[in-house]
Amino acid sequence: MSQDVESKVKDIIIDKLGVDESEVVSDANFTNDLGADSLDTVELI
């Protein structure tokens, strides 16, 4: 993934889930690692 796109996606995840930037890594699981519930996941999509 280009770094520009990856950076934008990362910023959206940080904003919507309220997580720390260090938690958002390419292999993070939305539910298990970032604490997102099913509604959070749907909203991100």
The catalytic site residues sit at 37
Cα distance between residue 35 and residue 5, in whole Å: 23
